Chain A
Amino acid sequence: MGKEHKNKRFKDTDMQIVIGWLLRIGVYVSITVVIIGGIFFLYRHGSTVADYRSFKGVPGFIQNLGDIMHNVVLLRGQAIIQLGIILLLATPILRVIFSAIGFMLEKDYLYIFISVLVLLIIIASALSGGAG
């Protein structure tokens, strides 16, 4: 029991270090992408009028992932910003996937189940998003 306990603690701290790095890199990378997109956008459209009083959704060329990627290649500012936002959104989701892998290494079946359940809820939410 004593040995097993020691082993488990070691893996828990391992997981903490990996998760800490993952979160940090995710935030750095996505914010950098957002800022680059912002510079492109402001350089080209900085003098246009800002009017967001009524809700009109987002421009047509960034409405789905395929269009966003296509326009990122064309260096369109709003598409690059949106890519950065998607990377930021993916960071905590990746964290859940990494936790699941960590619990697999620890053979902690209960928490593998819990991590997968959380992932499934997020996936269900993403799939329902188009509706309504």
Chain B
Amino acid sequence: MSVIVFTLIVLVGAYFAGLLGSLTGLGGGVVIIPLLTLLLHVDIHYAIGAALISVIATSSGSAAAYVKEGITNIRIGMFLEIATTAGAFTGAILAIYVSVKFIAVLFGTILIFSAIMSLREKKEHITSAKSFLSRRLRLDSSYPVEGEMVEYGVANIAGGFFMMLFAGIISGLLGIGSGALKVLAMDGIMRIPFKVSTTTSNFMIGVTAAASAVVYLQRGYVHPVIAMPVVVGVLFGAVSGSKILVHTKSSGWLRWVFAVVVTVLAVQVIYNGLTGKL
């Protein structure tokens, strides 16, 4: 295959990965890795490096819009970034010692988990109970709901912090944003409103990915010829996705289609990993 054909295939594939990732909230990184490894037989380390860079692009791009709307909680983000960057650093170091088999099985498992999470019903819940720690860390805040500011508190900070440490390790090991784990920590454990959780998670993904990308870049995992079409494709796909989301409110059937596709990909990654084909 010539470089130009390779670039075009990756560009188109990355565009759809970014589009679906943005429509379902899963992120483009989780689809681009199976595409590169299963379809184009790219070495998994190169795939992880390229995916990680695309994650920084999409998260920074959409965080720019959310931050201005005032939904993102910068203090919660900064505080939890201590955990995610420390985790990502650890994950990038661990990546040297674990086998491709282990990475493939872990990746497949996280992929299936993310698909299930994307099907979950999104309920906005607001806790008014303000803990000592959340007051001390000034995490309690308010966010706009239909033009009115609604106050919210933050619960179970230690639990959320540890979950973020785990999310960071996964992100550093696999080159994905691990947004599903971050949302689970904030929305599920810390009882932060869903909208604040997703936008703040997105805000944190870029910094988390950067903490492990500085390692991968020096190890030669980020190959410019692979990363170029991946970053450009995923970013433009994500932009298209966010434009479609503005026009169509319900994407219920799409979530199901995507969840099934992702699960099939996950099983393929696990199978190929275990049989040594990756």
User: A residues bordering B, Cβ < 8 Å?
Assistant: 12-13, 15-17, 19-21, 23-24, 26-27, 30-31, 34-35, 37-38, 41-42, 45-50, 52-58, 62-63, 77-79, 81-82, 85-86, 88-89, 91-93, 95-96, 99, 108, 110-111, 114-115, 117-118, 121-122, 124-126, 128-130, 132
Contact = CB atoms under 8 A, between A and B. Distances in A.
A118 B82 contact: yes
B224 A117 contact: no
B12 interface: no
A47 B207 contact: no
B53 A31 contact: no
A89 B56 CA distance: 7
Interface in B32-62: 40-43, 45-46, 53, 56-57, 59-61
A127 to B, nearest CB: 9
Nearest to A115: B78
A54 B43 contact: yes
Interface stretch (B23-31, B154-162, B214-222): B214-222
Contacts of B82: 114, 117-118, 121
B93 interface: yes
Contacts of B211: 121-122, 125
B96 interface: yes
A19 B93 contact: no
Interface in B67-92: 67-68, 70, 72, 74-75, 78-79, 81-82, 85-86, 88-89, 92
Mostly, the B contact residues are helix
A88 B56 contact: yes
Interface residues on B, range: 35 or more
B246 interface: no
Nearest to B2: A47
15 contacts: A16-B67, A35-B232, A41-B228, A48-B2, A49-B2, A57-B220, A63-B220, A78-B225, A89-B53, A91-B56, A110-B137, A114-B82, A121-B85, A129-B214, A129-B216
Contacts of B171: none
B215 A50 contact: no
A37 B224 contact: yes
Contacts of B46: 52, 55
B4 interface: yes
Interface string B217-243: 111101111111101100100000000
B64 A24 contact: yes
A46 B6 CA distance: 9
A62 B225 CA distance: 12
A78 B172 CA distance: 25
A128 B215 contact: yes
Contact of B53 (A21, A88, A95): A88
Contact of A58 (B65, B67, B212, B223): B223
A53 B41 contact: yes
A47 to B, nearest CB: 5
A98 B207 CA distance: 13
A17 to B, nearest CB: 6
Given A19-B74, A23-B64, A63-B220, A38 B214 contact: no
A20 to B, nearest CB: 4
Given A19-B74, A55-B45, A121-B85, A89 B213 contact: yes
Given A118-B207, A129-B219, A20 B78 contact: no
Contacts of A46: 2-4, 7
Q: Which of B2, B4, B40, B210 has its CB near the most chain A CB atoms (within 10 A)? A: B210
B63 interface: yes
A121 B79 CA distance: 13
A41 B229 CA distance: 12
